[in-house]
Amino acid sequence: MSGQDDGIRVEALPQQKLPVRPGQYSGIAYIGGDRYAVVDDKLPGGGIVFFDIPIRNNGVVRAARVKRVVPSGTAGATGSSPDNEGVVYANGMLYVSAENQTIREYDLDGVATGKSFAIPTDMRSDSIVPNGGFEALAYDESTGFFWTTTEFPLKRDTVPPRLHRLQCFGADLKADTRFLYQMDEPVKTAAQGKAAWAYVFGIPAMTALGDGRLLVMEREVFVPHGKPLDILSFSFAKTKVYVVDPSGDTADILPKQLLCEFETRISFTAAGIDVALANYEGMCLGPRLSDGRRCLILIADSQAGMASLAASFGRRQLTCEFVKILLLEGEDF
Protein backbone atom coordinates (compact mmCIF):
# COMPACT_ATOMS: atom_id res chain seq x y z
CA MET A 1 0.00 0.00 0.00
CA SER A 2 1.33 3.41 -0.94
CA GLY A 3 0.30 6.30 1.26
CA GLN A 4 1.01 9.76 2.54
CA ASP A 5 2.27 10.84 5.91
CA ASP A 6 1.95 14.45 7.01
CA GLY A 7 4.49 16.03 4.65
CA ILE A 8 5.69 12.82 2.96
CA ARG A 9 4.28 11.32 -0.22
CA VAL A 10 5.13 7.67 -0.88
CA GLU A 11 5.24 5.37 -3.87
CA ALA A 12 6.00 1.75 -2.99
CA LEU A 13 7.63 -0.19 -5.83
CA PRO A 14 7.33 -3.99 -6.19
CA GLN A 15 10.07 -5.87 -4.36
CA GLN A 16 13.09 -6.79 -6.45
CA LYS A 17 15.47 -9.75 -6.26
CA LEU A 18 19.17 -9.20 -5.63
CA PRO A 19 21.34 -11.65 -7.59
CA VAL A 20 23.68 -12.39 -4.67
CA ARG A 21 24.49 -15.55 -2.73
CA PRO A 22 21.90 -16.46 -0.06
CA GLY A 23 22.72 -14.93 3.29
CA GLN A 24 21.18 -13.53 6.43
CA TYR A 25 21.29 -9.83 5.66
CA SER A 26 19.77 -7.97 8.59
CA GLY A 27 20.84 -4.33 8.24
CA ILE A 28 21.75 -1.83 5.52
CA ALA A 29 23.38 1.62 5.45
CA TYR A 30 23.97 3.95 2.52
CA ILE A 31 27.62 4.90 1.99
CA GLY A 32 27.26 6.93 -1.22
CA GLY A 33 27.07 6.42 -4.97
CA ASP A 34 25.91 2.83 -5.50
CA ARG A 35 27.54 1.45 -2.34
CA TYR A 36 25.83 0.14 0.80
CA ALA A 37 27.16 -1.49 3.94
CA VAL A 38 25.16 -4.59 4.86
CA VAL A 39 25.47 -6.87 7.89
CA ASP A 40 25.06 -10.64 7.73
CA ASP A 41 24.07 -11.82 11.20
CA LYS A 42 25.91 -15.13 10.86
CA LEU A 43 29.31 -13.72 9.84
CA PRO A 44 31.99 -13.09 12.51
CA GLY A 45 33.34 -9.73 13.59
CA GLY A 46 30.97 -6.95 12.54
CA GLY A 47 29.46 -9.17 9.85
CA ILE A 48 30.00 -6.31 7.39
CA VAL A 49 29.85 -6.80 3.62
CA PHE A 50 29.35 -4.21 0.89
CA PHE A 51 26.75 -4.27 -1.86
CA ASP A 52 26.88 -2.16 -4.98
CA ILE A 53 23.21 -1.58 -5.91
CA PRO A 54 22.83 0.72 -8.92
CA ILE A 55 19.33 2.24 -9.09
CA ARG A 56 17.77 3.70 -12.22
CA ASN A 57 15.89 7.00 -12.19
CA ASN A 58 12.60 5.13 -11.91
CA GLY A 59 13.74 3.36 -8.74
CA VAL A 60 14.38 0.01 -10.41
CA VAL A 61 17.59 -1.82 -9.46
CA ARG A 62 20.08 -2.59 -12.25
CA ALA A 63 20.24 -6.24 -11.20
CA ALA A 64 23.00 -7.22 -13.64
CA ARG A 65 25.35 -4.69 -12.00
CA VAL A 66 24.76 -5.67 -8.37
CA LYS A 67 27.99 -6.75 -6.63
CA ARG A 68 28.86 -8.15 -3.21
CA VAL A 69 32.26 -7.33 -1.72
CA VAL A 70 33.66 -8.75 1.51
CA PRO A 71 36.10 -6.34 3.24
CA SER A 72 39.33 -7.53 4.81
CA GLY A 73 38.08 -7.05 8.37
CA THR A 74 35.19 -9.46 7.84
CA ALA A 75 37.21 -11.91 5.75
CA GLY A 76 39.84 -12.10 8.49
CA ALA A 77 37.49 -12.18 11.48
CA THR A 78 37.38 -15.30 13.66
CA GLY A 79 35.12 -16.67 16.34
CA SER A 80 31.35 -16.83 16.49
CA SER A 81 29.03 -14.07 15.38
CA PRO A 82 27.60 -11.74 18.05
CA ASP A 83 24.36 -11.80 15.97
CA ASN A 84 24.92 -8.50 14.18
CA GLU A 85 21.63 -6.96 13.12
CA GLY A 86 21.82 -3.21 12.36
CA VAL A 87 24.32 -0.86 10.74
CA VAL A 88 24.68 2.88 10.14
CA TYR A 89 27.30 5.02 8.44
CA ALA A 90 28.31 8.13 10.38
CA ASN A 91 31.32 10.43 10.18
CA GLY A 92 33.27 8.05 7.97
CA MET A 93 32.76 5.06 10.29
CA LEU A 94 30.35 2.14 10.54
CA TYR A 95 28.43 1.29 13.70
CA VAL A 96 26.92 -2.16 14.14
CA SER A 97 24.25 -3.19 16.65
CA ALA A 98 24.11 -6.80 17.80
CA GLU A 99 21.70 -8.89 19.83
CA ASN A 100 24.38 -9.50 22.45
CA GLN A 101 23.46 -5.92 23.41
CA THR A 102 26.49 -4.19 21.99
CA ILE A 103 26.88 -1.37 19.48
CA ARG A 104 30.44 -1.20 18.16
CA GLU A 105 32.42 1.06 15.85
CA TYR A 106 34.18 -0.30 12.73
CA ASP A 107 36.24 1.31 10.00
CA LEU A 108 35.42 0.93 6.32
CA ASP A 109 37.58 -2.19 6.12
CA GLY A 110 35.23 -3.82 8.64
CA VAL A 111 37.84 -3.73 11.41
CA ALA A 112 36.69 -2.95 14.97
CA THR A 113 38.21 0.26 16.38
CA GLY A 114 37.65 -0.74 20.01
CA LYS A 115 35.01 1.95 20.61
CA SER A 116 31.52 0.93 21.70
CA PHE A 117 28.35 2.49 23.07
CA ALA A 118 27.73 2.76 26.81
CA ILE A 119 24.56 0.67 27.10
CA PRO A 120 22.16 1.62 29.93
CA THR A 121 21.99 -0.96 32.71
CA ASP A 122 18.31 -1.71 32.12
CA MET A 123 18.94 -2.55 28.45
CA ARG A 124 21.81 -4.97 28.95
CA SER A 125 21.70 -8.69 28.20
CA ASP A 126 20.04 -9.80 31.43
CA SER A 127 17.13 -7.40 30.83
CA ILE A 128 16.08 -8.62 27.39
CA VAL A 129 13.95 -11.48 26.13
CA PRO A 130 16.23 -14.14 24.56
CA ASN A 131 16.97 -13.35 20.90
CA GLY A 132 15.08 -10.09 21.29
CA GLY A 133 17.87 -7.56 21.73
CA PHE A 134 19.20 -4.72 19.58
CA GLU A 135 18.34 -4.99 15.90
CA ALA A 136 17.39 -1.48 14.86
CA LEU A 137 20.01 1.27 14.55
CA ALA A 138 19.65 4.76 13.09
CA TYR A 139 21.77 7.89 12.84
CA ASP A 140 20.42 11.43 12.43
CA GLU A 141 22.95 13.73 10.76
CA SER A 142 20.91 16.81 11.68
CA THR A 143 21.21 16.16 15.43
CA GLY A 144 24.24 13.87 15.67
CA PHE A 145 22.11 11.38 17.61
CA PHE A 146 22.07 7.59 17.25
CA TRP A 147 18.87 5.65 17.92
CA THR A 148 18.14 2.02 18.76
CA THR A 149 15.55 -0.20 20.38
CA THR A 150 15.20 -3.88 21.23
CA GLU A 151 13.40 -6.20 18.81
CA PHE A 152 11.06 -7.38 21.57
CA PRO A 153 9.94 -5.45 24.68
CA LEU A 154 12.23 -5.66 27.69
CA LYS A 155 11.37 -8.31 30.27
CA ARG A 156 9.93 -5.70 32.63
CA ASP A 157 7.73 -4.05 29.99
CA THR A 158 4.56 -6.12 30.13
CA VAL A 159 1.94 -3.41 30.79
CA PRO A 160 0.90 -1.90 28.50
CA PRO A 161 1.66 -4.66 25.98
CA ARG A 162 3.98 -4.32 22.96
CA LEU A 163 5.86 -1.41 24.54
CA HIS A 164 9.33 -0.56 23.23
CA ARG A 165 11.88 2.00 24.41
CA LEU A 166 13.52 4.11 21.70
CA GLN A 167 16.94 4.92 23.14
CA CYS A 168 18.98 7.90 21.97
CA PHE A 169 22.79 8.12 22.17
CA GLY A 170 24.89 11.24 21.70
CA ALA A 171 28.03 11.72 19.64
CA ASP A 172 30.01 10.63 22.71
CA LEU A 173 28.29 7.21 22.40
CA LYS A 174 26.65 7.68 25.80
CA ALA A 175 22.94 7.22 26.49
CA ASP A 176 20.77 10.32 26.22
CA THR A 177 16.97 10.65 26.17
CA ARG A 178 14.48 7.81 25.77
CA PHE A 179 10.96 7.60 24.33
CA LEU A 180 8.16 5.04 24.50
CA TYR A 181 6.74 3.39 21.38
CA GLN A 182 3.90 0.86 21.11
CA MET A 183 3.59 -1.66 18.28
CA ASP A 184 0.25 -2.55 16.68
CA GLU A 185 -1.49 -5.75 17.72
CA PRO A 186 -0.18 -8.82 15.85
CA VAL A 187 -2.27 -10.96 13.54
CA LYS A 188 -1.31 -14.17 15.36
CA THR A 189 -1.71 -14.94 19.04
CA ALA A 190 1.24 -15.88 21.23
CA ALA A 191 0.07 -19.51 21.22
CA GLN A 192 -0.15 -19.59 17.43
CA GLY A 193 3.31 -18.10 17.14
CA LYS A 194 4.79 -20.60 19.59
CA ALA A 195 3.30 -23.51 17.64
CA ALA A 196 4.62 -22.30 14.26
CA TRP A 197 7.65 -23.56 12.36
CA ALA A 198 8.87 -19.95 12.42
CA TYR A 199 7.33 -16.84 13.93
CA VAL A 200 8.68 -13.40 14.70
CA PHE A 201 6.96 -10.18 15.73
CA GLY A 202 8.98 -7.10 16.62
CA ILE A 203 10.94 -4.04 15.51
CA PRO A 204 13.88 -4.95 13.24
CA ALA A 205 14.84 -1.53 11.83
CA MET A 206 14.76 2.24 12.29
CA THR A 207 15.88 5.08 10.03
CA ALA A 208 16.34 8.81 10.67
CA LEU A 209 14.77 11.12 8.09
CA GLY A 210 17.35 13.82 8.84
CA ASP A 211 14.79 16.34 10.10
CA GLY A 212 14.44 14.97 13.64
CA ARG A 213 11.81 12.38 12.73
CA LEU A 214 12.33 8.63 12.72
CA LEU A 215 10.96 5.77 10.67
CA VAL A 216 10.17 2.62 12.65
CA MET A 217 9.63 -0.76 10.96
CA GLU A 218 7.17 -3.21 12.50
CA ARG A 219 7.35 -6.76 11.16
CA GLU A 220 5.41 -10.02 11.68
CA VAL A 221 6.42 -13.26 9.94
CA PHE A 222 4.50 -16.53 10.28
CA VAL A 223 5.42 -19.91 8.77
CA PRO A 224 3.30 -22.80 10.11
CA HIS A 225 4.10 -26.45 10.53
CA GLY A 226 2.20 -28.75 8.22
CA LYS A 227 2.00 -30.14 4.74
CA PRO A 228 3.61 -28.15 1.91
CA LEU A 229 0.22 -26.91 0.73
CA ASP A 230 -0.59 -25.61 4.22
CA ILE A 231 2.74 -23.81 4.38
CA LEU A 232 2.13 -22.24 0.99
CA SER A 233 -1.39 -21.19 1.92
CA PHE A 234 -0.84 -19.74 5.36
CA SER A 235 2.71 -18.32 5.51
CA PHE A 236 2.98 -14.53 5.41
CA ALA A 237 5.24 -11.60 6.21
CA LYS A 238 3.62 -8.29 7.10
CA THR A 239 5.68 -5.09 7.18
CA LYS A 240 4.62 -1.63 8.37
CA VAL A 241 6.69 1.55 8.41
CA TYR A 242 5.64 4.32 10.79
CA VAL A 243 6.83 7.92 11.24
CA VAL A 244 7.43 9.25 14.76
CA ASP A 245 8.69 12.60 16.00
CA PRO A 246 10.57 12.14 19.29
CA SER A 247 10.16 15.67 20.59
CA GLY A 248 7.31 15.31 23.09
CA ASP A 249 6.94 14.26 26.70
CA THR A 250 9.14 11.23 27.45
CA ALA A 251 6.48 9.93 29.84
CA ASP A 252 3.98 9.43 27.00
CA ILE A 253 3.83 6.88 24.21
CA LEU A 254 4.88 8.54 20.97
CA PRO A 255 2.11 9.14 18.43
CA LYS A 256 2.85 7.45 15.11
CA GLN A 257 1.67 7.87 11.54
CA LEU A 258 1.59 5.04 9.02
CA LEU A 259 3.86 5.65 6.04
CA CYS A 260 3.44 2.33 4.24
CA GLU A 261 2.37 -1.27 4.80
CA PHE A 262 2.56 -4.38 2.64
CA GLU A 263 2.44 -8.17 2.84
CA THR A 264 4.38 -10.88 1.04
CA ARG A 265 3.58 -14.60 0.73
CA ILE A 266 4.65 -17.90 -0.84
CA SER A 267 2.22 -19.09 -3.51
CA PHE A 268 1.69 -21.41 -6.46
CA THR A 269 1.76 -19.96 -9.97
CA ALA A 270 1.50 -21.50 -13.42
CA ALA A 271 5.30 -21.49 -13.52
CA GLY A 272 5.65 -23.19 -10.11
CA ILE A 273 6.34 -21.86 -6.63
CA ASP A 274 6.55 -18.08 -6.32
CA VAL A 275 9.10 -17.39 -3.58
CA ALA A 276 7.83 -13.92 -2.76
CA LEU A 277 7.90 -14.30 1.06
CA ALA A 278 10.31 -11.65 2.35
CA ASN A 279 11.34 -11.05 5.95
CA TYR A 280 12.41 -7.39 5.86
CA GLU A 281 14.91 -6.55 8.60
CA GLY A 282 17.01 -3.60 7.34
CA MET A 283 16.13 -0.10 6.13
CA CYS A 284 18.02 3.02 5.09
CA LEU A 285 17.66 6.19 3.06
CA GLY A 286 19.48 5.91 -0.25
CA PRO A 287 20.12 8.22 -3.20
CA ARG A 288 17.88 10.90 -4.67
CA LEU A 289 16.43 10.34 -8.10
CA SER A 290 16.62 12.99 -10.81
CA ASP A 291 13.06 14.11 -9.98
CA GLY A 292 14.10 14.84 -6.36
CA ARG A 293 12.46 11.85 -4.72
CA ARG A 294 14.51 9.99 -2.09
CA CYS A 295 14.86 6.21 -2.11
CA LEU A 296 14.06 4.37 1.10
CA ILE A 297 15.56 0.90 0.73
CA LEU A 298 14.38 -2.13 2.69
CA ILE A 299 16.41 -5.36 2.65
CA ALA A 300 15.11 -8.83 3.52
CA ASP A 301 16.78 -11.62 5.48
CA SER A 302 16.20 -14.83 3.51
CA GLN A 303 17.60 -16.98 6.33
CA ALA A 304 20.06 -18.33 3.75
CA GLY A 305 17.20 -19.46 1.55
CA MET A 306 15.42 -21.31 4.41
CA ALA A 307 17.19 -24.44 3.20
CA SER A 308 15.74 -26.80 5.81
CA LEU A 309 12.17 -25.88 4.85
CA ALA A 310 13.00 -25.72 1.13
CA ALA A 311 14.02 -29.37 1.22
CA SER A 312 10.39 -30.35 1.82
CA PHE A 313 9.60 -28.71 -1.52
CA GLY A 314 12.48 -30.44 -3.28
CA ARG A 315 14.36 -27.15 -3.62
CA ARG A 316 17.80 -25.95 -2.57
CA GLN A 317 16.35 -22.67 -1.33
CA LEU A 318 12.87 -21.33 -0.83
CA THR A 319 13.30 -17.62 -0.19
CA CYS A 320 15.48 -15.11 -2.05
CA GLU A 321 17.39 -11.94 -1.32
CA PHE A 322 14.96 -9.08 -1.87
CA VAL A 323 14.99 -5.31 -1.64
CA LYS A 324 11.93 -3.11 -1.66
CA ILE A 325 12.24 0.56 -2.57
CA LEU A 326 9.85 3.25 -1.38
CA LEU A 327 10.11 6.56 -3.22
CA LEU A 328 9.65 9.45 -0.78
CA GLU A 329 8.78 13.01 -1.64
CA GLY A 330 8.63 15.84 0.87
CA GLU A 331 9.95 19.29 1.75
CA ASP A 332 11.78 18.55 4.99
CA PHE A 333 14.29 15.81 4.15
Look at residue 191 in the predicted model and tell me its pLDDT.
97
Q: Please give the Cα distance from 113 to 169 (Å, whole number).
A: 18
Strand partners, 199: 222
Q: Which CATH number does 4-330 carry?
A: 2.115.10
Sign of the alpha-carbon dihedral angle for 226, 227, 233, 238: positive
Percent pLDDT > 70 in the chain is: 90
Query: Can you tell me the mean pLDDT for 60-72?
Result: 95
Number of helices (H) and strands (E), helices first, in the chain? Answer: 4, 24
| pLDDT tier, 1 (very low <50, low <70, confident <90, very high otherwise) | very low
Asked if residue 130 has a cis previous peptide bond (ω within 30° of 0), the answer is no
pLDDT surpassing 80 at residue 317 = no
Read off the pTM: 0.93
Burial class, 114, CB count within 10 angstroms (exposed 0-12 / middle 13-18 / buried 19+): exposed
